[in-house]
Structure 1
Amino acid sequence: MNTDEMAASRRADPNYVQISGHVPKPLALEFKLAFTRAEINQSEAMEAAIALWVQQQEGGKA
């Protein structure tokens, strides 16, 4: 499945929602470079980054 097909299938899937935010431009450029090097798309990279962040937050709870 190519990137466009994956995006379309996620858009139509009720188990996925779109999120967005603003980050400093240098960070956005580093992020794009990193997911391109990893040969994944932006959605996959965001999903992994958010999952890691949530996991770290949950690990910090007493």
Structure 2
Amino acid sequence: MNSRNQETKGTLVTRRDDPGYAQVSGYIPKELALRFKVACTEDETTQSEGLEEAVQLWLEKRERTKHNRSGGS
């Protein structure tokens, strides 16, 4: 079972059903999408988990860049 899914009295609660999650979508080059799907399959992870990690890393990188541009230490 997915580590982020919860089982409640025999009923699987997915991210789709969880009010703490929101759907995001966008268009990326087909080759990149295929590579992403293959990587998720190889790592036995869901695409949602892969996207969550990618967005988190992107936001952290963005914050570091903003911090460095503003002269922060």
TM class, shorter-chain normalised?
A: 0.7 to 0.9
Structure of larger gyration radius: 2
Where structure 1 has 5 or more consecutive residues not aligned to the other structure, the ranges are: none
**Larger relative contact order, structure 1 or 2 (CA cutoff 8 Å, min sep 6):** 1
Q: Determine whether 1:41 maps to 2:49.
A: no
Over 4 Å off, 4+ runs:
none
Query: Which has more strand, going by share of residues?
Result: 2
Q: Could you tell me the TM-score, scaled by structure 2's length?
A: 0.71
Q: Determine whether 1:52 maps to 2:52.
A: no
CA–CA separation in structure 1 for the residues paired with 2:16 and 2:31:
28
Query: Which has more helix, going by share of residues?
Result: 1
Where structure 2 has 5 or more consecutive residues not aligned to the other structure, the ranges are: 6-12
CA–CA separation in structure 1 for the residues paired with 2:41 and 2:14:
21
Q: Determine whether 1:10 maps to 2:18.
A: no
Deviation at 1:40, TM superposition (A): 0.5
Q: Could you tell me the TM-score, scaled by structure 1's length?
A: 0.83
- Percent identity between matched residues is 50
